[in-house]
Amino acid sequence: MRGFGGFVNGCIFALALLIGLAFGAVQSGLVPANADSKPNRIERWLAHASLEAAIARGSKDLQNPLQASDDNLIAGVHLYGANCAVCHGAADAKQSNPAKGFYIRSPALAKDGVEDDPESETFWKVKHGIRYTAMPSFGATLSDADIWKLAMFLKRMDKLDPQVDAEWKKIPSAATAASP
């Protein structure tokens, strides 16, 4: 019994020490608070391991209820122009100054796209956002139908029908002018 009590006390002491160390690290500014350095290995692991698990769990039963018609795809292009191009760029894949300053970069989707990802995964990311990054959640601002239109456009971005592609090419570049 005595040994067990000692073990419990040891655990409590170790836990208190860990909490104290973590608190000290935060208080002394050792936990990064700036956005102009790359995330460290622990931050990347925290963000990605749990993101993948959350997506796998949250998107497995999701299915796009809409037809990939040109009308729906064109609606997706316009939604993208209004909500996403500022961070992910237009067809020229050029990025705005704000997008260039994120500590976790937003991919220029015209160049570094998500055509290989299931639409359900893209739907999840757009609806819920990605924690610890600048990727916002759109669940409160866009309907599910609009998010599916975005997901179907991103899935087919590299093989659009000519009339959809023409709308896509009309989205203005996100590149920031050198000076106003």
**Which residues make up the interface to ligand HEC (CB under 6 A)?**
83-84, 86-88, 102, 104, 106-107, 114, 122, 125-126, 130, 133-136, 138, 150, 154
Report, in Å, the least distance between residue 88 CB and ligand HEC.
5
Closer residue to ligand HEC, CB minimum distance, 60 or 111? 111
> Among candidates 141, 138, 163, 161, which has minimal Cα distance to 151?
138
- The backbone torsions φ and ψ at residue 145, rounded to the nearest 5 degrees and listed phi first, read -60, -40
Closer residue to ligand HEC, CB minimum distance, 13 or 45? 45
Q: Give the number of C-alpha atoms closer than 13 A to the C-alpha of residue 2, restricted to the C-beta side.
A: 0
Report, in Å, the least distance between residue 99 CB and ligand HEC.
7
Both tokens of residue 21?
A: 């160390």
- List C-alpha distances in Å: 164 to 51, 53, 98, 158: 32, 34, 28, 11
Report, in Å, the least distance between residue 1 CB and ligand HEC.
50
- Dist CA 97 CA 74 (whole Å): 27
- The backbone torsions φ and ψ at residue 135, rounded to the nearest 5 degrees and listed phi first, read -70, 110
Report, in Å, the least distance between residue 107 CB and ligand HEC.
5
Closer residue to ligand HEC, CB minimum distance, 104 or 165? 104
Closer residue to ligand HEC, CB minimum distance, 81 or 92? 81
Report, in Å, the least distance between residue 49 CB and ligand HEC.
12
Closer residue to ligand HEC, CB minimum distance, 11 or 82? 82
Owner of token pair 């208080």: 27
In the chain the first and final C-alpha atoms are separated, in Å, by: 76
